[in-house]
Structure 1
Amino acid sequence: MVKEISLADVPGLVGTETGLSDWIVVDQAMIDAFAHATNDHQFIHVDPERAASSPFGGTIAHGFLTLSLLSAMNYNSLPKVREQTMGINYGFENVRFLSPVKTGARIRGHFVLAEARFRGAGMLMTSYDVSIEIENEKKPALTAKWITIIQFDPKDRPENV
């Protein structure tokens, strides 16, 4: 993947996979830390003995933990926009948790640029169709549309947009 692009290049990438992240191992320590941070200590996440008798056969990652790892996957894989002064997480649409991420699984993010439109003098709103693949699984852990804003100095705005 390209590591750096110009602001003017972004609209031409619509419809293409612009990022494929490295694999991330979701281990019990990560799950426990997330449970502590969010105060979500449901047994299917933090109690391996009890979770062994669940339909999952062991502990699984929180769906929101999996979703939150998109930030690390983004930084790891998407090209940097030279003119960007700040990135803003605008939100998600259509988040679906399709398969559980079992403890010890490796996951990675796929990013397809779905839309890019300039707003105001110094903003480019982008939306990505994202999915998180689970190694050796047919169904992804999740799919979503992720909306972000690239902020830049208005003097760097490409002409004719």
Structure 2
Amino acid sequence: MRVFADINEVAAAKGEHLGHTEWIEIDQDRINLFADATGDHQWIHIDAERAAAGPFGATIAHGYLSLSMLAYFAPRIVSVTKKPSMSINYGLNRVRFLQPVTVGSRIRDGVVLSDVQENSKGVLVTMTHTVEIEGKERPALVAEALGLWVP
């Protein structure tokens, strides 16, 4: 984890790779819970028997489940000692799903601090996340996520 004293230190690290998280397993329980939360019960996600005969040989995590893991990974990559009063998910500039995450796979996140810009609402922090799949050459996804840090 990269620890910064304040937003000024964060801004000075613009362009740097901030490191990787630990690996986390994506199990069927997590996939099923996400299916229940979103109402997306497509067989490729929840029917292990049918999915075993399908194109990936197993169930796969929803792309949006893999993307939602950024909320889990981000605080494990960056910490700021003098925290803003709040940090808000401000959106995404770009997301590409490059490879499905099959059940039982382990993923981790690598982050580059792409940009830090002050605006009238606070500081807009842009981080490029690359969610890797253990043992695979291609990542699961690459996403440019924005967070608004309000002083």
TM more than 0.5: yes
Contact 2:86 2:149 in 1 (8 A): yes
User: AA paired with 2:106?
Assistant: R
> TM-score w.r.t. structure 1 length?
0.89
Quick one: distance in 2 between partners of 1:54 and 1:103?
Answer: 13
- Consecutive unaligned residues in structure 2, runs of 5 or more: none
Q: Does 1:101 align with 2:101?
A: yes
Quick one: distance in 2 between partners of 1:83 and 1:30?
Answer: 30
Query: Which residue matches 1:17?
Result: 17
User: AA paired with 2:95?
Assistant: V
- State the shift of 1:79 in Å: 2.2
Query: Which residue matches 1:70?
Result: 70
User: AA paired with 1:75?
Assistant: P
Structure of larger gyration radius: 1
Query: Which residue matches 2:148?
Result: 149
- State the shift of 1:3 in Å: 2.6
Q: What percent of counterpart residues are identical?
A: 39
Query: Which residue matches 2:90?
Result: 90
Contact 1:7 1:81 in 2 (8 A): no
Count of residues paired in the alignment:
151
Quick one: distance in 1 between partners of 2:81 and 2:98?
Answer: 31
Contact 1:87 1:150 in 2 (8 A): yes
Quick one: distance in 1 between partners of 2:54 and 2:112?
Answer: 35
Query: Which residue matches 1:59?
Result: 59
Quick one: distance in 1 between partners of 2:16 and 2:139?
Answer: 19
Query: Which residue matches 2:129?
Result: 130
- Consecutive unaligned residues in structure 1, runs of 5 or more: 153-161
Quick one: distance in 2 between partners of 1:82 and 1:23?
Answer: 28
Query: Which residue matches 1:49?
Result: 49
Measured against aligned partners, the alpha-carbon deviations of 1:10-60 in whole angstroms (never above 9, x if no partner) come to 111111012421211100000000001100000000000000111100100
- State the shift of 1:87 in Å: 0.4
Quick one: distance in 2 between partners of 1:94 and 1:2?
Answer: 24
Quick one: distance in 2 between partners of 1:50 and 1:76?
Answer: 35
Quick one: distance in 2 between partners of 1:96 and 1:15?
Answer: 20
Query: Which residue matches 1:40?
Result: 40
- Higher mean Cα deviation, 56-65 or 76-85? 76-85
Quick one: distance in 2 between partners of 1:5 and 1:139?
Answer: 34
Quick one: distance in 1 between partners of 2:94 and 2:17?
Answer: 19
